[in-house]
Chain A
Amino acid sequence: MPAKIVVDNISKSFSSEQGALPVVSGVSFDVADGEVVALVGPSGCGKTTLMNIIAGFERPDAGSIRIDGAAHHKPSKQGILISQHGSVFPWLNVQQNLMFGLNGHAHDDKEGLADHYAAMVGLQGFETNYPHELSGGMLKRAELARALVVKPEILYMDEPFSALDALMNLRMRNELLRVLSEERHTVLLITHDVEEAIHLADRVLVLSPAPAQIKASFDVSLAHPRKLSSRYVQDLRVAILRELGVYSD
């Protein structure tokens, strides 16, 4: 199968008082169509910068991104970014937020489409609520639905659930898996939570401390629903943590 996303030798530096500060250094990997790939790495390793480059919000100093074989420079509805702090517009209600991405679409029932996706993530009955009237978990659902409604081929998820408490985090992972079982998307997920990566991803790439480089790659050959307490998951977790320089045994 041809690769959906090709990340080819990406490097990026930021200028600082001490001169150029390399943040990403020669990162290459592919993501297959419909694959869920997680990037794990320590805080401040350049994960977010790498994600912004792949999603088209920042330009790399060197290297290139290709999506479906074509050079990718600008953000578009082909891939929607969901970030840690969220970007649901606080001045629009849930339905208006969901319809935002449909502006300019010829669809004759935007409201119906928005409501369908609101229901899909469990927000039925909250369509006319404003974000400040929603809980953190519901906000995440709204953000996920707003991304799904434009039928993106790729979801770029940058620490999407890390601002949630542990219970809600787990719930949202299951929610995402359920959505992905209904509608296939290619997912690139950034997280610092190794368990979250193993729970969601088909493949886990481990990044080094800044400047980000790929240190190791682990395939998660386990069917969904995954049992997080299984020996396989625990062993994988230890192996990944080891690559991250953390020894938990």
Chain B
Amino acid sequence: MKLADVSGPYFGQYGGRFVPEALIAALEELDTEFRKAADDPEFAAELQRLHREYTGRPSPLTEVPRFAVHAGDARVFLKREDLNHTGSHKINNVLGQALLVKRMGKKRLIAETGAGQHGVATATAAALMDLECVVYMGEEDTRRQALNVARMRLLGAEVVPVKIGSRTLKDAINEALRDWVANVETTHYLLGTVTGPHPFPEMVRQFHRIIGEEARGQLLERTGRLPDVVAACVGGGSNALGIFNAFLDDKDVELRGFEAGGEGIESGRHAARFSGGALGVLHGAKSYLLQDDDGQTLPSHSVSAGLDYPSVGPAHAWLHDLGRATYEPVTDDEAMEAFRLLCRTEGIIPAIESAHALAGAMRIGKAAAAQGRTGPDGEPLLILVNLSGRGDKDVATAARWFGLLDEGVASEELERQEGRG
């Protein structure tokens, strides 16, 4: 079997369904509907129409030569998921699941969100398809991403700040799961990444595989060959799996995932599950997990809310153990430097999440240049980066990071944010 087609509930020893019994019937129903839809040409046609007419797919592939100067003069191509409607790859999965929800006849969507990208995408699909929508968001993240909170509310969603635990993405998922247990008969939990109980890891991968499939075709058309390296950021891991999936069975294509290294592994303030985590269960799936000796979940940290999560999709844990993909941390500092460089060299403001993949590409390109590594026949190394989202939501964070606001305004802004934090 091709790696790209491995199905749940397990990816190697990872995955499964570690959830209360109350949810099993709904997961079964979802799994059945997902498999029926996969065989239904009408479902595929409707999703394709939405991709084309609503999202704006296919998303472009952009070569970024001025940025590539900082990546050892490799050739760097960006898969522009940032140009999708709602500003990130998240819409791919949301539209797929929302169509399933219509088929199941449920009227209410709930979702978790970290950076707000998935929440915005879910609120958007709910407006489009006339569904009630509640988004759970850690209170800490509502502060970091205030603009996205307003955006979701504009779209008609109710945003519930979660004020328990670490008040970030992990706690938003806990709260969404509690809502789902109570309302599972009328409600669909539109989980935003490739983790959670089966069938979510497989289903969300399925709805994102279009990223890699498009990119593969576009790159072949432009360069006549496959990339040497594919780079993506990995929080839960949906954008990474979406782009990796099309290359899993191309042995010569190196797959590199970049996790949030936060303030550095040694600081303990990071979200690097593969460097600092171990086998564990969280939110329904067995995977790598940041935890203490007692199996209590450890708080994660990242400048980017979307990567600030203590576990990772089970398929990534599996690919890691297989050695098919490698995962390494990128610190806040490295990510912000890549963020700044892409803005200045190419006129593209990336999401801070995606900036971790850009920093990874810089690391790969520089290392290759130092080692004299090239593509086949001495061609420049070809690096494909998934630019999973745009950075509009991150402007306030970046402005503070780089000190870009006028002094009066800046201190006012800081006071306001710290007062609320």
Q: Are A and B genuine complex partners?
A: no
- Residues of A participating in the B interface, judged by any CB pair closer than 8 Å: none
- Residues of B participating in the A interface, judged by any CB pair closer than 8 Å: none
